[in-house]
Structure 1
Amino acid sequence: MTHTFVETNGRSSRLEGAAPVSLHVVQAGPTDGPLVILLHGFPEFWYGWKHQIDALAEAGFWVWAPDQRGYNLSDKPAGIGAYSIDSLVADVVGLIDASGREKALVVGHDWGAAVAWWTAVSFPDRVERLVTINVPHPIVMKQFVSRDVGQMVRSWYIGFFQFPRLPEILTRLNNWSMLVGTLLNSSRSGTFRRADLQQYKAAWSQPGAVTSMINWYRASLRHPPARRSSIRVSVPTMLIWGVRDKFLKREMAQRSIDLCDDGRVVFVEEATHWVQHEEPKRVNELLIGFLS
């Protein structure tokens, strides 16, 4: 793996007033291989793909795993509006531009999956294939959060994160016990080890990181995406879903694939929301097979 910083901005997506941001990117694999961009979720960073990076590189892919804006070593622009999903999508397109490629294979988990979905909706000409892990299409998510009582209960934290300052104070208490507890209590035993948690705590402790991370949730309600002519996904898509997810209902998976012209869902029965950590061999086989 090599660590570098890549400047990306909103020029490719024609976002007015978009300011450049510098993203920390871990790269691996042959530079002439197919470009794969791995987008992490909350509360992770590039390290969330530690089981996938080498496997994809060894399979011949050129892997880029960024810290998305606001996370770990990447820039943390001020203001909630800087974390709108349109800005996050612009970062992905900017990374593709910086690679010198026209298209990329885009893979996302959790919040990274939401960004990946919306990148494919907004810029299908820049996405070769799409893989999303344990997050539904954003439109399906919006429908369930607003209408399904069970999903409303599971998504309580979205409302909690809307408060000013309080979430930042509580997440820092007792050596990050809230975030650590979230990881440990929602995953299979032994998934996140002490050494892993030290890596996460170091990333969360970067100046401005915790507010920027939470601002993703604030922006999701206060700065919705620009209207698209179609919400359908036209690129080949695979959705991997750990069935024992404590945050998101299984029913949203097939509803998401129904919005794809060429899509399929793979359920991993024994896995939770953190399927790429718990079942790395299975996930890697699925990724390599589909992306190839």
Structure 2
Amino acid sequence: MLSRFIETNGLRLHVMEKGPADGPLVILLHGFPEFWYGWRAQIDALADAGFRVWAPDQRGYNLSDKPVGIHAYTIDKLTADIIGLIDTAGQEKATVIGHDWGAVVAWWLAATYPQRLARLACLNVPHYAVMLRFLRRSPHQLLHSWYAGFFQIPWLPEWLTERGNWWLMTRALRRTSRPGTFNEADLRRYRQAWSQTGPTGDTAFRTMVNWYRAFAQQRPPLPANEQITVPTLLIWGAQDAFLIRDMAQPSINLCVDGRLVFIETATHWVQHEEAHTVNRLLLEFMRH
């Protein structure tokens, strides 16, 4: 696996690469509070199957640049980063696979740059329009999303989370996943990633939380057409503690060519817990 830095959209992203240079490009987009390492169970499998795999630390995360200010983390900038990666790879199109916030970016990419995506796969996150509707109309989902509101408070989430060697974050990962999903060696990697500092000396956690703040406070207009024309696979761990499964089918209903697969025993961290099944589903989808 090769570690490199790529200039895109006015900043520098850290990217892990594996697979043949002439293989079809696949970009893996992690979510909160992960980094490229969240795809470690998928990178080898996809590369061994002949795909050219890029797994970036998205802006604000781990070793990638951490621009200052909420305005630097709006969804249009996040999607432009990925278009820049596709351009740097010298490709017209890529398959984009996203989990959590990475899936939000992936859905937005498919709506705004459909000509640049070969395929779209999202894990445990609904279409953005479905998510927004459920947040307005579903008390059940609103209750599950309480933490997104908490993250809107200035400085307090960062201060609380960094205390006790990131005790709150590690506890949250363990309590919302199946036992043994994140071992102590994994958590050390996460603590190290969260502790990376930006230009102001703040930890990466501040810029990670700014994703939530930007989407709530400075979201650009929604794409005019909600329909997704790119072939789409949605994989959903049914035991998700954050996002209710009721949002999955309405998301696929907005896809011209979409498939939904529930993994009943998995949680939000489906690619960790059911790596073999997720890898099989992704490879079947990309080879079809």
Establish whether TM, by shorter chain, passes 0.5: yes
Task: Kindly indicate whether residue 56 of structure 2 is the aligned counterpart of residue 61 of structure 1.
Answer: no
Q: 1:214 aligns with which of 209, 216, 231?
A: 209
Corresponding residue number in structure 2 for 1:239: 234
RMSD: 0.6
Cα offset, 1:227, TM superposition: 3.8
Corresponding residue for 1:192?
A: 182
In structure 1, what is the equivalent of residue 2 of structure 2?
A: 2
Corresponding residue of 2:155: 165
Structure 2 residue runs without a partner (length 5+): 198-202
Asked if structure 2 preserves the Cα contact closer than 8 Å seen for 1:51 and 1:280, the reply is yes
Moved over 6 A (4+): none
Deviation at 1:291, TM superposition (A): 1.1
The whole-number CA distance in structure 2 between the counterparts of 1:43 and 1:87 is 19
How far the C-alpha of 1:225 sits from its partner, in A, is: 2.5
Identity of aligned residues (%): 60
Matches of 2:167 and 2:100, distance apart in 1: 21
Q: Does residue 1:271 correspond to 2:266, yes or no?
A: yes
Taking structure 1 as the reference length, the TM-score comes to 0.96
Correspondence for 2:104? 114
One of 32, 36, 47 as aligned partner of 1:46: 36
| Cα distance in 2 for residues equivalent to 1:157 and 1:85 | 19
- Contact residue 23 and residue 75 of structure 1 kept, 8 A: yes
Name the aligned partner's letter for residue 164 of structure 1. P
Aligned residues: 282
TM-aligned CA deviation for residue 201 of structure 1:
0.3
- Alignment match, 1:262: 257
Distance (whole Å) between structure 2 residues aligned to residue 191 and residue 45 of structure 1: 16
CA drift of 1:110 comes to 0.3
Q: Which amino acid aligns with 2:8?
A: T
Q: Which amino acid counterpart does residue 94 of structure 2 have in structure 1?
A: A
Distance 1:94 1:226 in 2: 21
Kindly state the Cα deviation for residue 200 of structure 1 after the two structures are TM-superposed: 0.2
Per the TM alignment, residue 180 of structure 1 is displaced from its structure 2 partner at its CA by 0.5
Residue 135 of structure 2 is matched in structure 1 by 145
Distance 2:27 2:126 in 1: 19
Question: Which SS does the other structure have where 2:129 is aligned?
Answer: helix
- CA distances 1:117-150 after superposition (whole Å, capped 9, x unpaired): 0000000000000000000001111111121000
Report the Cα distance in structure 2 between the residues aligned to 1:264 and 1:67, rounded to whole angstroms.
27
Distance 2:7 2:120 in 1: 23
User: Which SS does the other structure have where 1:52 is aligned?
Assistant: helix
Task: Name 2:81's counterpart in structure 1.
Answer: 91
Contact 1:86 1:226 in 2 (8 A): no
Amino acid at match of 2:38: G
Residues 16-58 of structure 1: CA distance to partner in whole angstroms, max 9, x if unpaired?
xxxx010000000001000000000000000000000000000
Question: SS where residue 53 of structure 1 aligns?
Answer: helix
SS at match of 2:41: coil
- Structure 1 unaligned regions, length at least 5: 10-19
Report the Cα distance in structure 1 between the residues aligned to 2:269 and 2:7, rounded to whole angstroms.
Answer: 29
TM-score w.r.t. structure 2 length?
0.97
Deviations 1:152-203, CA, capped at 9 Å, x for gaps? 1000001100010000001101110111111100000000000000000000
Alignment of 1:135 with 2:135, yes or no, is no
Query: Contact conserved, 1:128 with 1:235, CA < 8 A, in 2?
Result: yes
Question: How much has 1:59 moved relative to structure 2?
Answer: 0.2
Q: 2:23 aligns with which of 15, 24, 33?
A: 33
CA distance in structure 2 between the partners assigned to 1:277 and 1:225 by the alignment: 32
| SS of equivalent to 2:95 | strand
1:174 matched to 2:164? The reply is: yes
Instruction: Output the amino acid matched with 1:278.
Output: E
**Partners of 1:125 and 1:57 in 2: CA distance:** 24
